[in-house]
């Protein structure tokens, strides 16, 4: 990718890092549209998850070696969509993703927001950034080009979903990372008036609205990148404007990732239904990845960027995960169904 420029600045900010499940974290999210949760994973868990993601990448059998960035080229790397997100090829059911979903601090954080621990988890992917000092084409898109919300402003009114990411490497101004526009969940109801024509082109069932590139709206509503430690969890309301952006850095250690995050979203089971839950149960055996929503079944393996890949059969997918009861409940099994299986 050639050198990118933008008139929209993204401020790197140290924001409060709040405790998993704390009333403060719930209030902060409500007020600002996002919240950083401190140490949802401890250091050991973070390192285990990161090593597990490398196991996944090497297990694709395309020739990736975690110790040698010369093997991380696009010929070997799984297909990435915007912002370096890897959405398919079994990523949503690899061991590392299921390990993260089983960590009490993660579930506790979502449970406090919803007032219930009867939750379903997304079968989401990850975002991994390769050092663009090795290959400039590895630099991901600038934030100003894809600021978006993940909820249709007319089709889905009100608070419907809280998305999340677990951060596996410390962030820095050089590396960049997630971008969030604080308080922008309150702009949500204004979108139909501000972008009438643009919105009219999007079916109300599509939960994605992308703002125009270099939108002057974000000169006044300044985006930020929150500083996060490894193991922190970022949560944001799907109405909050967000994306990711590479930072200012040009020099990175050659054989290390610049960014590694796991996307995760938990929603109350009561928002889903039996038809969706039945597809979710089947998705584990089929290793189907999804978007953030668990009240609808949206198959990420069917993203156009994935189905357009001619030789996608060459990737070896991970094994079907062996899930414990906590994980099976996050898929959709009830206590009674689990008891009957024993």
Ligand X SMILES: O=C(O)CCC(=O)C(=O)O
DSSP string, 268-336: EGGGS-HHHHHHHHHHHHHT--B-S-SSS--BGGG-HHHHT-TTGGGSPPPPPP---HHHHHHHT--HH
Whichever of 165 and 333 has its CB closer to ligand X, that residue is: 165
Distance, in Å, from the CA atom of 320 to the CA atom of 62, rounded to the nearest integer, reads 19
Distance, in Å, from the CA atom of 101 to the CA atom of 104, rounded to the nearest integer, reads 8
Whichever of 259 and 329 has its CB closer to ligand X, that residue is: 259
Sign of CA dihedral 251, 254, 255, 260: positive
Cβ 322 to ligand X shortest distance, Å:
27
Any contact of residue 244 with ligand X (CB under 6 A)? Answer: yes
Cβ 227 to ligand X shortest distance, Å:
14
Cβ 176 to ligand X shortest distance, Å:
10
Choices 46-54, 167-175, 238-246, 333-341; region in contact with ligand X by CB under 6 A:
238-246
Any contact of residue 26 with ligand X (CB under 6 A)? Answer: no
How far is CA 110 from each of CA 77, 143, 236, rounded to the nearest angstrom?
A: 31, 26, 11
Secondary structure of 50-103 in the HEC alphabet?
A: HHHHHHHHHHCCCCCECCEHHHCCCCCCCCCEHHHEECCCCHHHCHHHHHHHCC
Of residues 265, 264, 278, the one with CA closest to residue 333: 278
What is the per-residue burial (b if ≥16 Cβ within 10 Å, else e) of 159-198?
bbbbbbbbbbbebbeebbbbbbbbebbebbeebeeebeee
Choices 10-18, 29-37, 237-245, 297-305; region in contact with ligand X by CB under 6 A:
237-245
Give the total of residues touching ligand X (CB under 6 A).
11
Interface of this chain with ligand X, residues 28 to 67, rule: CB under 6 A: none
Choices 187-195, 199-207, 240-248, 282-290; region in contact with ligand X by CB under 6 A:
240-248
Site string for ligand X, 133-162 (x = CB under 6 A): -----------------x------------
Cβ 203 to ligand X shortest distance, Å:
18
Distance, in Å, from the CA atom of 151 to the CA atom of 301, rounded to the nearest integer, reads 20
Query: Which residue(s) pair with 112 in the sheet?
Result: none
Whichever of 237 and 333 has its CB closer to ligand X, that residue is: 237
Any contact of residue 165 with ligand X (CB under 6 A)? Answer: yes
Interface of this chain with ligand X, residues 175 to 234, rule: CB under 6 A: 178
Distance, in Å, from the CA atom of 235 to the CA atom of 36, rounded to the nearest integer, reads 6
Any contact of residue 263 with ligand X (CB under 6 A)? Answer: yes
Interface of this chain with ligand X, residues 78 to 97, rule: CB under 6 A: 83
Whichever of 71 and 221 has its CB closer to ligand X, that residue is: 221
Cβ 68 to ligand X shortest distance, Å:
25
Binding-site member from 69, 76, 88, 127 for ligand X (CB under 6 A): 127
Cβ 264 to ligand X shortest distance, Å:
10
Whichever of 107 and 259 has its CB closer to ligand X, that residue is: 259
> Cβ neighbours of residue 295 under 8 Å, at least 6 residues apart?
160, 267, 271, 272, 273, 276
Any contact of residue 237 with ligand X (CB under 6 A)? Answer: no
| Residues at the contact surface with ligand X, assessed by CB under 6 A | 83, 127, 150, 163, 165, 178, 242-244, 261, 263
């Amino acid at each position: 990718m050639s050198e990118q420029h933008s008139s929209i600045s993204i401020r790197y900010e140290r924001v409060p890092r709040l405790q998993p499940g704390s009333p403060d974290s719930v209030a902060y999210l409500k007020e600002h549209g996002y919240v950083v949760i401190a140490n949802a994973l401890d250091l050991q868990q973070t390192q285990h998850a990161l090593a597990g993601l490398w196991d996944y990448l090497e297990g694709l059998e395309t020739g990736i070696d975690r110790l040698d960035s010369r093997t991380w080229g696009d010929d070997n790397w799984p297909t990435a969509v915007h912002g370096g997100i890897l959405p398919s090829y079994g990523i949503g059911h690899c061991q590392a993703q299921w390990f993260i979903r089983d960590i009490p601090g993660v579930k506790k954080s979502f449970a406090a927001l919803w007032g219930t621990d009867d939750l379903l988890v997304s079968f989401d992917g990850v975002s991994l950034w390769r050092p663009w000092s090795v290959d400039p084409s590895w630099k991901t898109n600038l934030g100003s080009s894809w600021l978006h919300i993940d909820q249709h402003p007319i089709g889905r009114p009100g608070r419907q979903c809280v998305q999340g990411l677990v951060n596996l490497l410390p962030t820095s101004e050089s590396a960049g990372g997630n971008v969030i526009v604080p308080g922008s969940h309150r702009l949500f109801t204004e979108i139909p008036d501000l972008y009438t024509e643009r919105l009219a082109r999007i079916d109300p069932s599509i939960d994605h609205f992308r703002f125009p590139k270099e939108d002057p709206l974000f000169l006044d509503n300044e985006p930020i990148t929150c500083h996060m430690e490894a193991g922190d969890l970022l949560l944001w309301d799907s109405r909050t404007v967000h994306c990711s952006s590479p930072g200012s850095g040009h020099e990175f250690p050659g054989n290390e990732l610049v960014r590694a995050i796991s996307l995760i979203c938990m929603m109350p089971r009561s928002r889903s239904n039996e038809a969706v839950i039945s597809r979710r149960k089947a998705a584990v055996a089929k290793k189907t990845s999804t978007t953030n929503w668990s009240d609808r079944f949206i198959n990420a393996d069917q993203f156009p960027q994935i189905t357009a890949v001619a030789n996608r059969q060459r990737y070896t997918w991970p094994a079907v995960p062996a899930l414990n009861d906590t994980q099976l409940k996050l898929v959709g099994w009830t206590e009674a169904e689990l008891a009957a299986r024993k």
